[in-house]
C-alpha cells in the first residue's frame, strides 16, 4: 500500500535516498538561518524590538541544519550537493518571493514594508513546514533514530508559525493590513507552484535511486499534481488567514541550542 509513511520509510531505509533527503533539508535550513540573521541586522529603527525574535528564528533554522547533518553523520554519511531543481529557497527567491539576497547583502536598513514582506513570506513557508513536520511527527515521532529530531524541529516550526501570525496581526492593526493581504496572497500562489515543482524533482530523483517502476512513479507524480490543483483552487487560502495564536511571544526567549545534535 502506497502511503506517506511507507514512502518515507523507504527513503529512510536506503542510505542514498536518506542522504539526499537530509542534504536538501539541511541546505534549506542553513539558508533560512543566514537570511534571518541578515534581516535581524538590518531591521529598521521603528521595529528594533523585533530583532531578537528574528535572531531566534535564524538560530532555530541553523540548529535544524545541524540536526539533519548530525543524522547523516550518525549513519556514516556525508551531505551531497543540493540539486538546483530541488532548492526550495532558491526557487522561491527567483519567483520574487521574500527579500532578495542582494538587498540582504547590502548594509542599508530595511523598511517596514520589507518587514511585512519577510513576515508574509515566513508565514506561508512556515505553514508548509509545520504541515510536513506534523506528518513526520505523527508517523516517526517515536522512531528510535529520528524521533527526538522530528519532535524538536516540529515544535520549533509551530513556534515560528505562531510568531508570524502574531507579528503580522500587530502590523495589520498598525495600518498595514492591505499590504499584508496582497503580499500573503502573492507568496502563497508562488509557494504552491514552487512546492509542486520541487516535489516532482525530488520524487524523480528518489525514484531513480530506489528503482521505482514507471507505474509507481506515475502514481506519485499524479498525486503531486492533484495536490497542486487543490491548492491552486482553494487550499492556498489556509496560508493567508491570520489568527492570534494560543501561544503568545513564541520566539521571545533564547533558542534551544540542541547540544545533543550540534
Instruction: Give 181's contacts (C-beta < 8 A, 6+ positions apart).
Output: 240
List pLDDT tens digits, range 174-209: 999 999 999 999 999 999 999 999 999 999 999 999
Confidence tier at 253 by pLDDT (50, 70, 90): low
C-alpha cell at 179: 499590504
Q: Bigger pLDDT: 257 or 85?
A: 85
Per-residue pLDDT at 252: 86
List pLDDT tens digits, range 143-183: 988 999 999 999 999 999 999 999 999 999 999 999 999 99
For residue 240, pLDDT over 60 is answered with yes
Per-residue pLDDT at 3: 83
What is the spatial distance between Cα 22 and Cα 15, in angstroms, rounded to a whole number? 10
Per-residue pLDDT at 4: 85
Homologous superfamily, domain 4-239: Ferritin, core subunit, four-helix bundle (1.20.1260.10)
Q: Bigger pLDDT: 156 or 260?
A: 156
List pLDDT tens digits, range 30-45: 999 999 999 999 999 9
* Domains of the chain by residue range: 4-239
Mean pLDDT of the chain: 94
For residue 82, pLDDT over 70 is answered with yes
Per-residue pLDDT at 145: 86
For residue 132, pLDDT over 90 is answered with yes
What is the spatial distance between Cα 226 and Cα 223, in angstroms, rounded to a whole number? 5
Q: pTM score > 0.95 for this model?
A: no
C-alpha cell at 107: 548594509
For residue 262, pLDDT over 60 is answered with no
Average pLDDT of the segment spanning 124-130: 97
For residue 259, pLDDT over 60 is answered with no
Instruction: Give 206's contacts (C-beta < 8 A, 6+ positions apart).
Output: 11, 17, 20, 21, 212
| Three-state secondary structure string covering the chain | CCCHHHHHHHHHHCHHHHHHHHHHHHHHHHHHHHHHHHHHHHCCHHHHHHHHHHHHHHHHHHHHHHHHHHHHHHCCCCCCCCCHHHCHHHHHHHCCCCCCHHHHHCCCCCCHHHHHHHHHHHHHHHHHHHHHHHHHHHHHCCCCCCHHHHHHHHHHHHHHHHHHHHHHHHHHHHHHHHHHHHHHHHHHHHHHHHHHHHHHHHHHHHHHHHCCCHHHHHHHHHHHHHHHHHHHHCHHHHHCCCCCCCCCCCCCCCCCCCCCCC
**Which of left, alpha, beta for 98 (phi over 0: left; psi -120 to 50: alpha)?**
left
Answer whether 37's CB lies under 8 Å from 55's CB: yes
Amino acid at each position: 500500500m502506497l502511503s506517506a509513511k511507507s514512502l518515507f520509510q523507504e527513503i529512510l531505509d536506503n542510505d542514498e535516498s536518506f542522504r539526499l533527503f537530509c542534504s536538501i533539508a539541511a541546505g534549506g535550513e542553513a539558508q533560512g538561518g543566514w537570511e534571518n540573521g541578515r534581516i535581524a541586522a538590518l531591521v529598521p529603527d521603528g521595529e528594533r524590538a523585533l530583532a531578537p525574535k528574528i535572531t531566534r528564528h535564524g538560530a532555530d533554522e541553523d540548529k535544524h541544519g545541524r540536526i539533519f547533518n548530525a543524522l547523516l553523520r550518525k549513519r556514516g554519511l556525508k551531505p551531497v550537493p543540493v540539486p538546483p531543481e530541488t532548492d526550495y529557497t532558491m526557487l522561491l527567491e527567483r519567483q520574487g518571493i521574500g527579500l532578495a539576497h542582494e538587498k540582504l547583502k547590502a548594509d542599508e536598513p530595511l523598511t517596514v514594508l520589507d518587514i511585512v514582506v519577510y513576515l508574509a513570506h515566513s508565514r506561508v513557508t512556515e505553514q508548509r513546514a509545520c504541515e510536513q513536520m506534523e506528518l513526520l511527527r505523527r508517523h516517526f515521532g517515536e522512531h528510535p533514530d529520528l524521533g527526538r529530531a522530528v519532535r524538536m524541529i516540529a515544535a520549533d516550526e509551530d513556534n515560528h508559525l505562531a510568531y508570524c501570525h502574531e507579528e503580522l496581526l500587530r502590523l495589520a492593526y498598525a495600518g498595514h493590513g492591505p499590504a499584508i493581504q496582497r503580499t500573503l496572497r502573492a507568496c502563497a500562489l508562488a509557494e504552491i507552484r514552487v512546492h509542486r515543482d520541487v516535489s516532482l524533482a525530488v520524487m524523480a530523483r528518489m525514484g531513480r535511486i530506489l528503482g521505482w517502476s514507471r507505474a509507481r512513479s506515475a502514481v506519485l507524480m499524479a498525486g503531486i499534481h492533484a495536490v497542486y490543483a487543490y491548492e491552486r483552487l482553494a487550499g492556498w487560502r489556509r496560508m493567508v488567514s491570520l489568527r492570534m495564536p494560543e501561544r503568545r511571544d513564541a520566539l521571545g526567549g533564547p533558542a534551544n541550542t540542541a547540544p545533543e545534535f550540534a
